[in-house]
Amino acid sequence: MIKHHISDKLLMAYCAGTLPEAFNLVVATHISLCDDCRARMAGFDAVGGAVLDQRVAPVAMSSDALSATLRKIKAKTAADDPEDSPVGQYMRDPVLPGPLLRYTGGGLEAVQWRAIGGGVRQAILPTSRHASARLLHIPAGTAVPDHGHRGLELTLVLQGAFVDESDRFARGDIEIADEEMEHTPIAEMGADCICLAATDAPLKFRALLPRLAQPFFRI
C-alpha cells in the first residue's frame, strides 16, 4: 500500500505542464503505480479543462482537420509503436514502470549503472538541463551519506525500501525533500533498494569525500 503521495502543488504543476522534464518523469512514474494520485490528477485535469472552456475563445478548425489527424496516426512507424519497438518487449518489467522504459532503453537489465562508492550505483537519465533524473541502486543495509538540499528532490521507490529520519518509504512511495530537510536514507535489509530521484540543484553533503566526488557524479 502506497503511503506517501505527490503533493497537490506538484500534481497541479504536472497537469499544467510547468515542471522540468526530470520531475515530470518522477510524477508520471508514481502516477502509474498510484490509483489515488491518478484519480486526483484526473480531477485537476477536469478543472483545468473547465477553466479553458470558460476563458479561451473557440477557434475554427479546417474542414479536413479530422482526416489529417487520422492520417498522422496511421503514419506512425513500427518503431514508434511500443508493442513493436525494442522497448515494447519490456512493457511488463517488474521493477521499472512504463514511463521509465523509454529513458532506460528497456528493462532493468538494460540500465547502464555506474558505481559511485559504498556499493551504491547510479544511472543518469537523459532529461532537459533544468533538473536531473537518475536511477539509484542501493544495496540492502547501506546508508546514503548524510545530506541536505539546495532545491527540491523527489525520490520514488521502485524496489525494496529505505528509512530516514522522517519515515519509511517502500515501492510506490515518494519522498519530497526541500531546503529545510537533512537526512540519511538507509536501505532496509532484504531486497536492494532501487529508486528514481530527481533534483533541480546539487545536494549538500556534510562529509568531505562525497563533496569531493560530487562534481564527477553530478549529484
- In the chain, DSSP assigns E strands to 114-117, 120-125, 132-138, 147-149, 153-159, 161-163, 168-170, 174-177, 186-187, 193-199, 203-205
Report the alpha-carbon distance of residue 192 to residue 137 in Å, rounded.
Answer: 7
Residue 81 domain-assigned (yes or no): no
Residue 169 domain-assigned (yes or no): yes
Give the residue numbers spanning the domain of 185: 1-75+112-219
Query: Exposed (0-12), middle (13-18) or buried (19+): which is 130, by Cβ within 10 Å?
Result: exposed
Written as tens digits, the pLDDT of the chain (219 aa) is 899 999 999 999 999 899 999 999 999 999 999 999 999 998 887 766 656 556 667 778 888 888 888 888 888 654 454 444 444 444 678 999 999 998 998 889 899 999 988 899 999 999 988 899 999 999 999 998 888 888 999 999 999 999 999 899 999 999 999 988 998 999 999 999 999 999 998 887 777 777 767 676 777
| Tally of structural domains, the chain | 1
Report the alpha-carbon distance of residue 146 to residue 206 in Å, rounded.
Answer: 6
Question: Which 8-state DSSP code applies to residue 188?
Answer: P
Residue 30 domain-assigned (yes or no): yes
Residue 88 domain-assigned (yes or no): no
Cell 553533503, located at residue: 205
Residue 151 domain-assigned (yes or no): yes
Residue 100 domain-assigned (yes or no): no
Residue 19 domain-assigned (yes or no): yes
Residue 82 domain-assigned (yes or no): no
Residue 147 is part of a domain; what is its CATH number?
A: 2.60.120.10
